[in-house]
Amino acid sequence: MNLILNILWIVFGGLWMAVGWIIAGLIMCITIIGIPWARAASTIAGYALLPFGSMAVDRETYRGQGDIGTGPLGTLGNLVWLILAGWWLALAHVVTAVLLAVPIIGIPFSWGHLKLARIPLWPVGKTILPRHAPVPNCS
């Protein structure tokens, strides 16, 4: 079922949103200091392309301990990302969601884009896991 849903997702905006994430990552790679953001963008590009069967969780919650991306440097990184690329990726997800909500058949995919619109606002410190992976401390 995930395969069918992912194919439909690609048709209903998943491909162009994944391309947007890749473009954001490439722009970050142009500046050497943007490489950590490019890594986060490439990870989430895969999730934006094929979200069914996967989930985005905080690394600190998943691992049970913090790291450089979940601490103060991660917060600073997320703020820089939000200013440089996060807001327009979130906006693109929202615009796609609104356009998909016009025909009734697009409403489930519209809802998916709205759920994904939160991730570009604060992507550093997130990891993508298979939906069936055990996640401690997540409710």
The DSSP letter of residue 139 is -
pLDDT tens digits along 104-118: 989 999 999 998 999
In this prediction, residue 138 carries a pLDDT of 52
Among candidate residues 93, 108, 116, the one with its CA nearest the CA of residue 47: 116
pLDDT in tens, the chain (139 residues): 889 999 999 998 999 999 999 999 999 899 888 888 888 889 899 999 999 989 988 888 888 887 777 788 888 888 988 988 899 999 999 999 999 999 998 999 999 999 899 999 988 888 888 887 776 655 4
pLDDT tens digits along 33-55: 888 888 888 989 999 999 998 99
d(CA 112, CA 45): 15
pTM over 0.85: no
In this prediction, residue 139 carries a pLDDT of 47
In this prediction, residue 66 carries a pLDDT of 78
Contacts of 89 (CB under 8 A, 6+ apart): 17, 20, 21, 24, 120
